[in-house]
Structure 1
Amino acid sequence: MTEIIEATEKISQPGGESAPAPGVTTLGAPVGGLVPYTDALPVPPVLRPQSGDVLRETEIAVSPAWVRLHAQLPPTLMWGYNGMVPGPTIEVRRGQRVRIAWTNRVPKGSEYPVTAVEVGPVAQGAPAPHNSPGRDGVEPDPDVAALPAWTVTHLHGAQTGGGNDGWADNAVGFGDAQLSEYPNDHQAAQWWYHDHAMNITRWNVYAGLVGTYLVRDDEEDALGLPSGDRELPLILADRNLDTDEDGRLNGRLLHKTTVLTKAHPETGKPVSLPFFGPYTTVNGRIWPHLDVDDAWYRFRLVNASNARIYDLVLVDDENNPVPGVIRQIGSDGGLLPRPVPVDFDGSLPQLTVAPAERMDLLVDFSALAGRRVRLVNRGKLAPGVPDPAANVPFPQVMEFRVRETGRRDTFELPEVLSGSFRRYEHGLVEHGHRLVVLTVPGTVGGGGHPEIWEMAEVEDPATVPVPSDGIIQVQGEDGAVRTYRRISRTFNDGLGFTVGEGTFEQWSFLNLGGPTHPMHIHLTDFQVMGREAYTLDGFDPALGGTRSPVAFDHGTKIPAAPNEQGWKDVFRVPAGQMVKVLGTFDGAYGRFMYHCHLLEHEDMGMMRPFVVMPPEAMKFDHGAGHGGGHEGHGG
């Protein structure tokens, strides 16, 4: 740590306590065996360069860590960056180049910190039992228990060369280091870092390998936003815990999923749902509390869960939504053009955050002095009603205890946040098109799991048999029917997409049915250009193609939400929607990945590579191994 220093200013130490606000009790009835809001919110230490570029590698080590997830639990064995869960917050200035040696310091033969079980089987659509604590008598998966420490770190959001990006196959073992350089030539933003090891990302991330990374710039500084002890990371992650022979929580991490069928007829393997845990942690604590002043605060929120999509609402003691106090000022890739008010209409939260999405939030506590307010996860039902179908057994997230200081906060919310931001005009940006289809679970050839299909437009539909496996016809808004052929479906299929550095592309993701997929593209920030509804009756999973075109639904309009009008690198793609995103692949070369950020889906095949190279070099491509430039239309 010769060139990166650890900041000493922290709000609360892990395991520490802070004084409650006047009139607020810290005790309550147990929920799931634990009393909510018992522990103070821990805040990770900050690592920042002393000055200038950091051209000598600074080691950040993956190592075992014993973590108190809750005061009523014994310590839990986890893996952390620098022995902390979450890892330290890394903070840099725009253009400040740093080099990090992500070193594996987990000794050989160490116990893998995650117990994995599958319960069921249950029928498709039936209530899933995986949200209850404990293993339900199921024996742990010995193959997961035998996993070695094999890790690779991806700085999610970073614009850096493919060799620094954390390629999933390039994970390292004990004593080895992954050397990565980050130019940080990016507008102010919140990125985050996490493990990305091939096949086992879901368990390594679940073991604790996450942390947040902040880029600062002059435009952000000029806004005078809350800072210091009034700017905090909120890293959300759901967890499950094992129980002992007496049914008591023993603190052991439990990755408990539900088997839908005993074995899939194509693979002979079970088909599992993604992981959803009953306990929500914030910065590594289950249902913590935070003492705040009656003033403005800035929270840098990231959903670091394996698969849970949160629908967050701020409520009072009587469980009523608290309106008018939250503004979203930034998304994945930086500041929004203007603040977006976050109000609640009594049924549907507006603060929906999928795995890997970030939200830069301002909260005004000035009118809440002496009160206690809580952030809860409501699913999709009315306030106060947990949604079993959304796997929300315990809605608690965290509690804010507002102190009355008698001081007036002089911060004023700016009307315009980023004067440098420009919306793309589709017709004014020369760009190529890609179509990516997300298939229905159970589609023939998919082994029971949803897949990513890369598609290429067929210029002469008469040259391909319709209908047939891998052929998708799409009727767009203009009524024209376009025919596409599948060019890849698994990670190790031939390379499909090669992109010229500095060029713009629009990627269209069409979800043919099943869950909402948060799609993440490495390297590049995008803008959401539109969300379109499509009828899906024409797709036949048993065929693996369309018998009639999937068609644009003129009767359903889906406006893009105000808080996704900025820079994004994760896009929620619900069933029956085509989500179109436009971006430029600039600033780096190499081989990168894009994937669903439901980690169980990613590990089970919903991930594909793409290559960025100089467009001048693409002219000499020999046509074998590097898919063409701008195939497909996608609308």
Structure 2
Amino acid sequence: MGTNPRRTEAPALRFSHASHLKLACLLGVLYSLSVIQAQDVHSRCGNLTPSPTLTPFVQPLPIPVEIDISTGSQLTLGAYKISQSVHPDLPNTTFYGYGTSQDTATSPGPTLNARRNVASFIRFENHITDAEHILTVDKTLHRATPANGGVPMSVHLHGADAEGKFDGHPEAWFTAAGDKGPTFIATNNTYPNEQPASLLWYHDHTLGYTRLNVVSGLAGLYFIRGGSGEPGSLPEGRYEIPLVIQDKQFYPNGSINFPDLGSPLSPAHPQWCPDYFGDTILVNGKAWPFLDVVGAVYRFRILNAANARAFTLSFSDSRLQFVQIGTDGGYMWAPQLLQNLTMAPAYRVDVLVDFSSVPVGTTVYLNNTAPAPFPDGDPINSPPSTRHVMKFNVVQSIPGLPAQSVVIPTSIGSAPSTAAWIDSAVYRNVTLDVVLPPDLTFLLNKNHWDDPVTETPKLYTTEIWDIIHLIPGGIHPIHIHLINFLVLHQQAFDLTRFNGGLCSLLLSYPESLSCYTEAPQPPDATQVGWKDTVVVYPGTRLRILMNFAPRDWPQLHVRSHHVPRLRMALSQPGPRGP
């Protein structure tokens, strides 16, 4: 007796206790604002006019154009102002996009394919001639200030092990008019690609503009492929699908709805919005697309390119699961079988999905259940439209699609032995702090972005950092430039008792005067493997391990896409590149 296809539905270091109460109350004010139904002029942070109603799953998933950058020739990649459709029922949207010309520029930009141990050479150019940004710039923020106006840009290859001068420093910006930031060196960049095969991404990184430029479209994928350690018989070609997931909000005329009025949390910055959440989910630049698949194993290379929204992805049909084989820094030594996949901003994952688990004719939805802000959230930031990501139609065949022979790996190499590293490591504490309104500012070890260098790791040494989250509220993704790290463990503590001076973080659990509420816990599923970005939860100490290699000046910053004046400067003495 045959099996009937089944269709599944989409599912509709110390603040005073009083200071934290004040911040909590202000957070409550921000997130209790109700969504208004019409808005004539202004768009207020946390209170955006909903996007027009758009029918989901009516357009196929586009695949970004691929460019081979392993040839030894220099690629010139420019930033341009473009017009692009995100949905057939919405007028075209104005974006900034990357491309080799005005005609080829897109958002997201082209996918760049590099080979391991083969250097790539990329010249970035700024062809955005707008006198003013397409989104509102808060001129009270610490930001790039081009003398002749315009839209500054600085491109960061996120996850790259490269010289610091090619890292896209926030103050290495430049404009179409020729203005340059104080740390600008050159537009010609060299990436050695001497790191394991992995998915990186390139995006704008300009001081005070990053959140604006990324929302506006300046982001794209960068693959390092080949080399030893690559498992054989993985899906490739049309069975390997990149997914760049973002959230945005739109006006009826198709333009991006981004706040031009700030939040009550920061009256000193009248147009700055600490967290931007959109009600429309884009995948590869299209709103809620669909993809036809056959009953075979597919490989999805997924990037969360949202400014603030985390995604917890799952399939509407429980017969489908994720086999995660890679993370930010490359392949995992032990693939994970997951029903749900949580991704904070800037996370990349490499997963296999076996669609032979469901019969031909099945419709499956990729859904999102993460609250916003993560992990507690507020329903105002997660309307029903944010619960859907895209749709898969399982079909009998697709013209021109070749047969494949795939082996799903059960192990990929050996787990790193950390015992010797831990024995010789230098320990540091890093605190995530906040200054309360009127000038809401997030700090690392109570330092601002432009404060002097405070940390000096030494080459060829191992360090263990305890990152201590002292801010009430949502998660903080941490990205450390030019280096990968391992999460050793995390440990929750009582933030209220700590702020009241009733306990200590220097005492171990379960001592009565210790602030810790549990023994150290192993990394969760999202923290396993080599990482360059990791989430730290409020009231949590996260311990990471790093081996410092001979590259220039790592930086540590938190949610750089949308938080001003936030970085801890590091200096790494040693040899410099040419």
* TM-score between both structures, scaled by the size of structure 1: 0.72
The aligned residue for residue 364 of structure 2 is 373
Alignment of 1:271-420 (within 5 A): 272-316=273-317, 322-343=318-339, 350-368=340-358, 369-380=360-371, 388=379, 391-394=382-385, 395-405=387-397, 410-417=405-412, 419=413
Give the conservation status (yes or no) of the 8 Å contact 1:69–1:284: yes
Q: Secondary structure at the match of 1:366?
A: helix
Residues in 2 aligned to 1:432 and 1:217: alpha-carbon distance in whole angstroms: 34
Residues in 2 aligned to 1:555 and 1:421: alpha-carbon distance in whole angstroms: 26
Give the conservation status (yes or no) of the 8 Å contact 2:69–2:121: no
Distance 1:365-1:598 versus aligned 2 partners, 3 A rule: farther
Q: Does 1:594 align with 2:553?
A: no
The aligned residue for residue 504 of structure 2 is 549
Amino acid at match of 1:171: W
Q: Does 1:223 align with 2:232?
A: yes
Residues in 1 aligned to 2:539 and 2:420: alpha-carbon distance in whole angstroms: 23
Amino acid at match of 1:606: L
Higher relative contact order (CA 8 A, sep 6+): 2
Give the conservation status (yes or no) of the 8 Å contact 2:371–2:382: no
**Alignment gaps of 5+ in structure 2:** 13-49, 100-104, 139-144, 179-185, 506-513
Measured after TM superposition, the shift of residue 390 of structure 1 is 5.4
Residues in 1 aligned to 2:295 and 2:250: alpha-carbon distance in whole angstroms: 36
Residues in 1 aligned to 2:444 and 2:452: alpha-carbon distance in whole angstroms: 14
Alignment of 1:90-109 (within 5 A): 90-107=112-129, 109=131
The aligned residue for residue 475 of structure 2 is 516
Deviations 1:13-35 (A, max 9, x none): xxxxxxxxx9999xxx9995100
Measured after TM superposition, the shift of residue 293 of structure 1 is 1.3
Structure 2 residue aligned with 1:502, among 450, 455, 460? 460
Q: Secondary structure at the match of 2:202?
A: strand
Q: Secondary structure at the match of 1:160?
A: coil
Give the conservation status (yes or no) of the 8 Å contact 1:44–1:89: yes
Deviations 1:46-83 (A, max 9, x none): 111364xx2x5321111111110111111111111111
Q: Secondary structure at the match of 1:203?
A: helix
Structure 2 residue aligned with 1:436, among 417, 430, 434? 430
Residues in 1 aligned to 2:58 and 2:462: alpha-carbon distance in whole angstroms: 50
Give the conservation status (yes or no) of the 8 Å contact 1:439–1:452: yes
Measured after TM superposition, the shift of residue 587 of structure 1 is 3.5
Q: Does 1:173 align with 2:128?
A: no
> In percent, how many aligned pairs have the same letter?
30
Amino acid at match of 2:61: L
Give the conservation status (yes or no) of the 8 Å contact 1:67–1:78: yes
Residues in 2 aligned to 1:308 and 1:412: alpha-carbon distance in whole angstroms: 34
Measured after TM superposition, the shift of residue 609 of structure 1 is 2.1
Measured after TM superposition, the shift of residue 436 of structure 1 is 1.1
Residues in 2 aligned to 1:448 and 1:92: alpha-carbon distance in whole angstroms: 41
Q: Does 1:571 align with 2:567?
A: no
Residues in 1 aligned to 2:78 and 2:497: alpha-carbon distance in whole angstroms: 51
Q: Secondary structure at the match of 1:202?
A: helix
Give the conservation status (yes or no) of the 8 Å contact 2:322–2:352: yes
Give the conservation status (yes or no) of the 8 Å contact 1:63–1:79: yes
Amino acid at match of 1:63: Y
How many residues are paired up? 500
Deviations 1:70-123 (A, max 9, x none): 1111111111111111111111111110111111111253x6333579xxxxxx
Amino acid at match of 1:558: Q
Distance 1:529-1:171 versus aligned 2 partners, 3 A rule: same
Amino acid at match of 2:364: V
Residues in 1 aligned to 2:560 and 2:394: alpha-carbon distance in whole angstroms: 35
Give every structure 1 segment of 4 or more consecutive aligned residues whose post-TM-superposition deviation is greater than 6 Å. 22-25
The aligned residue for residue 80 of structure 1 is 97
The aligned residue for residue 161 of structure 1 is 163
Structure 2 residue aligned with 1:535, among 470, 494, 514? 494
Alignment of 1:109-148 (within 5 A): 109=131, 112-114=133-135, 148=150
Q: Does 1:233 align with 2:242?
A: yes
Q: Does 1:256 align with 2:259?
A: yes
The aligned residue for residue 606 of structure 1 is 566
Measured after TM superposition, the shift of residue 257 of structure 1 is 7.6
Alignment of 1:180-191 (within 5 A): 180-191=189-200
Residues in 1 aligned to 2:574 and 2:137: alpha-carbon distance in whole angstroms: 44
Q: Secondary structure at the match of 1:163?
A: helix
> Which has the larger share of strand?
1
* TM-score between both structures, scaled by the size of structure 2: 0.79
Residues in 2 aligned to 1:220 and 1:104: alpha-carbon distance in whole angstroms: 37
Q: Secondary structure at the match of 1:537?
A: helix
**Alignment gaps of 5+ in structure 1:** 1-21, 118-142, 243-248, 317-321, 344-349, 454-487, 617-635
Measured after TM superposition, the shift of residue 193 of structure 1 is 0.4
Measured after TM superposition, the shift of residue 327 of structure 1 is 0.7
Amino acid at match of 2:459: E
Amino acid at match of 2:409: P
Amino acid at match of 1:505: E
Distance 1:426-1:595 versus aligned 2 partners, 3 A rule: farther
Measured after TM superposition, the shift of residue 606 of structure 1 is 2.4
